[in-house]
Chains A and B, each alone.
Chain A
Amino acid sequence: DAGITQSPRHKVTETGTPVTLRCHQTENHRYMYWYRQDPGHGLRLIHYSYGVKDTDKGEVSDGYSVSRSKTEDFLLTLESATSSQTSVYFCAISQGSGSNEKLFFGSGTQLSVL
């Protein structure tokens, strides 16, 4: 257990509304990531953070923004949700170093945009 909590676990929203997903970690990890999972695509990186207020884009960042005002929280915001953003969203942290380094994932958030 890497001490990652995602909230909410499930959310249904309407097109055009803002949505914020939260990832909370308790073990002071520097790097945090947001991925989305869609059938036929596996997991794709949206944004990641390498420290407080330090973030960068991933492969599928359009339509998403992130913020990290403190080490333990990494927020993913959909400014104006679209149906194409219906997906399962996973937060992850890096743990270990060198050959022991691996990503640990949260339980995921199922987001449905109607």
Chain B
Amino acid sequence: AQKITQTQPGMFVQEKEAVTLDCTYDTSDQSYGLFWYKQPSSGEMIFLIYQGSYDEQNATEGRYSLNFQKARKSANLVISASQLGDSAMYFCAMREGQSNFGNEKLTFGTGTRLTIIP
């Protein structure tokens, strides 16, 4: 079974609209971490946001927020007021087990290609 599932291969969104990128995960661990990365056409992997399994509040970083629904095992990324520069691939990833001072072996989803339309 896939540990990270991103069901949207591609999305087109009008500029300035909000967008939600879906991510569901599968783990039996009680302690885990969820990450979102952005990969623009230039190819680099850019960290966006992190949510720990014990964090009670949804994580936020500027225009990015993570809609964490633990019972449903979902960790959707929400981008508010989308911009042309948000066009990129977006990857959801999970670390199983407790963070151990650098032991970040992540499992990635297959990604969602987001295109912002002017």
Contact = CB atoms under 8 A, between A and B. Distances in A.
A33 B104 CA distance: 9
A97 interface: yes
Interface string B1-44: 00010000000000000000000000000000101010000011
A41 B110 contact: yes
Main secondary structure of the interface of A (DSSP, over half): strand
A31 B106 CA distance: 13
A102 B47 contact: yes
Contact of A58 (B99, B105, B109): B105
B45 to A, nearest CB: 4
A33 B105 contact: yes
A43 B102 contact: no
A103 B91 contact: no
B3 to A, nearest CB: 10
A44 B108 contact: yes
**Interface pairs A-B: 6 shortest CB-CB:** A42-B108, A31-B102, A94-B102, A105-B45, A43-B108, A94-B104
Interface of A: 29-31, 33, 35, 40-45, 48, 50, 58-59, 88, 90, 92, 94, 97-99, 101-105, 107-108
